[in-house]
Chain A
Amino acid sequence: MSIDTETARRVAKLARIKVEDAALPALAQEFSAILGFIEQLNEVDVEGIEPMTSVTPQRLVRRKDVVTDGNQQAAILKNAPDAREGFFAVPKVVE
């Protein structure tokens, strides 16, 4: 399957990665090569096969839905690029 520059632009947007217009054709070409490689999977007969969801045959362990941790505001904000008054700070989201 061949990926065009418009699709590459859309994927970059979905992935929230800024890609300059000039870089889109090369990116589209790379995607096409990788997806071409992946297309081999169409040769496999997967009729009646369930998609693998668990690597080892075990059920995920459940725990009580209770608070197990907390009161670590300072530790949580410690690595933030911008934290103010106990919050993560970001550019204005709502007009």
Chain B
Amino acid sequence: MTDLSKLTIASARDAMRKGEVSSVELTNAYLGAIEGSGKLNAFVHNTPEIAKVQAEAADKRIKAGDAPDMCGIPLGIKDLFCTKGVLSQAASGILEGFKPEYESTVTTQLFEAGAVMLGKLNMDEFAMGSSNETSVYGDVVNPWKIDDRNLTPGGSSGGSAAAVAADLCLGATGTDTGGSIRQPAAFTGITGIKPTYGRVSRWGVVAFASSLDQAGPMTKDVRDAAIMLEAMCGYDAKDSTSANLEVPNFEAMLTGDIKGKVIGIPKEYHMDGMPAEIEKLWADGTAMLKAAGAAIRDISLPHTKYALPAYYVIAPAEASSNLARYDGVRFGHRAKLAAGDGITEMYEKTRAEGFGAEVQRRVMVGTYVLSAGFYDAYYNRARKVRALIKRDFDDVFAAGVDAILTPATPSSAFGLGEMKNADPIQMYLNDVFTVTVNLAGLPGIAVPTGLDAKGLPLGLQLIGRPWEEGDLLNVAYSLEQSAGFVAKPQKWW
């Protein structure tokens, strides 16, 4: 049988087209791998019946010879995506038992392209977290292990990252509001891209912070990211911020030729106390791009320092508004009421029981910064700072920079539970390199480029011009080729 650890979307596509393997065979192999992966806690709702029907249909299309690239490819779907008739709970107790009557645009497009859904993937509750420890389903465990400890896969798309890294699926959907695709990709040695805001429809994706949320693929390599991203992109009238732009053939843009491209190295990303290993990884990546013919330019993004505090006003503000819909009336959990309880008690008890601690914290911070008397001081000020952060990027792109290279995370994966007693801000610092990209609405990709001294994967981030995911993927492809990262976690689960 096929060695799942060596398979990619591209190689599986080619093998299926040549008739060397069928989607049904692949699907069964992955379903078996998922069965044996309980210790990772990545898949939380398996959908083997759906997968088998989709795989059979895919095999027919492939035989007929008109199958799209994603046809027959077994995927995992983050629990944040609404999937018709299948539990979609955003890893929250408040959406207990929720089976949507509709299908998100992203999953609709993937299924129309012939992709196979193996099941739903664990995540941080409502995508709020950087360690996958806020899920109602429990922690996801990183397949990478170096001692007795269980490590975090990162978050919020921790289940997606762990599943791809552990060869439980060929690719997974993720979402990224402040780094939730790129940080877990870096922690698990896989590739993840957050496209330009507006590239991928948000319709049917449970909303966290609507002006920051974007879905994207999490895959084993850059080519797979290009293939899967193309299937996820496109205009959707049901998302008012969806961009009505042509979707290029991203895979065809992977030439690996980056001669003459200008790569910016932002000085503000040299953080105080940054581990020497991360500095070295970054310098090595810079040297690789230079050796491939790119011009390296030192740049400044002066408002970088203010990105996290601006994010922690804007994201909670939007979350408090978006999560107001969870009131125990239309879907999900409703608290048991005591005699004499009215509708206000129903709301308050339902939300106290249904939301976890981090979600409650963010909803309340959001409520506070939007409340009368503080709206200008906090929310409007944060939106002005956000405009300045975006302007920083606009300026460097206008000056001819094609892409920006930074570290993806300030460290490698840490142990589950190790941040339990840290204050919330310590956890928020995980997103220090990624959050600027969401505030500016830009595309960003994390590519694994090395291991640290402990043997854990580390990634670099490339940030691109708006709508130029194709060029960005090509620079990432060049970096991937030069770095030659091939390490995989040893199976222990």
Chain A residues close to B by CB (< 8 Å): 3, 7-8, 11-12, 14-19, 27, 30-31, 33-35, 37-44, 46, 49-53, 55-56, 58, 60-61, 63, 72, 75-76, 78-82, 88, 90-93
Asked if B466 and A79 sit within 8 Å, CB to CB, the answer is no
Chain B residues within 8 Å of A75, by CB: 101
Question: Given A33-B423, A79-B99 in contact, is the A49-B387 Cβ separation under 8 Å?
Answer: yes
B211 within 8 A of A: yes
B241 within 8 A of A: yes
B216 within 8 A of A: no
B451 within 8 A of A: no
- A–B complex contacts, Cβ < 8 Å, 7 sampled: A3-B368, A11-B371, A38-B313, A40-B309, A46-B385, A79-B98, A92-B343
The residue of chain B having its C-beta at the shortest distance from the C-beta of A50 within the complex is B387
The residue of chain B having its C-beta at the shortest distance from the C-beta of A20 within the complex is B352
Question: Given A15-B320, A44-B306, A56-B241 in contact, is the A49-B384 Cβ separation under 8 Å?
Answer: yes
- The prevalent SS among residues of A at the interface is loop
Asked if B312 and A37 sit within 8 Å, CB to CB, the answer is yes
Asked if A60 and B240 sit within 8 Å, CB to CB, the answer is yes
- The prevalent SS among residues of B at the interface is helix
Residues of chain B at interface, number, CB under 8 A: 74
The residue of chain A having its C-beta at the shortest distance from the C-beta of B99 within the complex is A79
Q: Write out, one digit per residue, whether chain B residues 313-346 have a CB within 8 A of any chain A CB (1) or not (0).
A: 1000000100010011111111001000111111
The listed residue with most B CB atoms (<10 A of its CB), out of A39, A55, A79, A88, is A55
Asked if A53 and B240 sit within 8 Å, CB to CB, the answer is no
B47 within 8 A of A: no
The residue of chain B having its C-beta at the shortest distance from the C-beta of A78 within the complex is B101
Chain A residues within 8 Å of B303, by CB: 44
A86 to chain B, nearest CB (A): 14
The listed residue with most B CB atoms (<10 A of its CB), out of A31, A61, A72, is A61
Chain B residues within 8 Å of A35, by CB: 365, 368
B299 to chain A, nearest CB (A): 19
The residue of chain B having its C-beta at the shortest distance from the C-beta of A29 within the complex is B423
B197 within 8 A of A: yes
Question: Given A34-B424, A41-B310, A91-B343 in contact, is the A14-B367 Cβ separation under 8 Å?
Answer: yes
Asked if A91 and B346 sit within 8 Å, CB to CB, the answer is yes
Q: Contacts A33-B423, A34-B424, A37-B312 known; list 13 others, CB within 8 Å.
A: A15-B364, A19-B352, A33-B424, A35-B365, A38-B369, A41-B310, A44-B381, A44-B384, A49-B388, A51-B380, A55-B198, A56-B466, A90-B343
